Amino acid sequence: MKVDPSLCIRCGACVSVCPFDAIDATDGYVAANERCTECGICEKVCPVGAIEVARKKV
């Protein structure tokens, strides 16, 4: 997934909810690491819609 840093309020909700521990928060920025499976859970909890999940091709 990708985070739009201009929208993110750094609430930490996505970091808490990710079941794969795939979101790193460093220096106030959040970003997905290589463990991200694009499951979409974080996208649902982000209060400001800053998260965009890549849709897997079928």
> Shortest Cβ distance from residue 2 to ligand SF4 (Å)?
10
Length of the chain: 58
d(CA 33, CA 47): 21
Beta-bridge partner residues of 31: 24
Among 6, 22, 52, 57, binds ligand SF4 (CB under 6 A): 22
Residue with tokens 């993110």: 8
Verify binding: residue 31, ligand SF4, rule CB under 6 A.
no
Q: Which residues bind ligand SF4 (CB under 6 A)?
A: 1, 3, 8-14, 18, 20, 22-23, 30, 32, 36-42, 45-46, 48, 50-51, 53
